[in-house]
């Protein structure tokens, strides 16, 4: 199943561009998880819900990797954890796909 995670850093920013990109690659609206919160906080409701829902064989789509975490280490740790769980990751902005 294709899922998506979209995040902006402040409530003043707009998620529309990221959500439109996820719809364009076929992610169903109900499978797009969002947060309007700084990446400095890893306790984000949308991300937590996504991580609780995702199953082995699913693919999480993000526009860019920096939407996942506040720094490279946290992002890499999350990508590693997802890979260990059998979850794939695709970034639309740079075309990376984990396997």
As annotated, the active-site residues are 9
Residue 27 contacts residue 84 (beta carbons within 8 Å): no
Q: How far is CA 16 from the centre of its chain?
A: 15
CA distances (Å), origin 54, targets 6, 23, 80, 83: 15, 18, 15, 12
- Cα(63)–Cα(21) distance, integer angstroms: 7
């Amino acid at each position: 199943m294709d899922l998506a995670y979209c995040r902006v850093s402040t409530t003043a920013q707009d998620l529309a561009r990221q959500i439109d990109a996820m719809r364009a690659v076929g992610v169903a609206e109900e499978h797009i998880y969002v947060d309007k919160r700084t990446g400095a906080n890893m306790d984000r409701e949308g991300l937590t819900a996504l991580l609780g829902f995702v199953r082995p064989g699913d693919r999480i789509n993000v526009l860019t990797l920096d939407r996942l975490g506040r720094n490279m280490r946290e992002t890499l740790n999350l990508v590693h954890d997802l890979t260990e769980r059998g979850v794939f990751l695709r970034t639309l902005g740079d075309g990376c796909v984990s396997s």
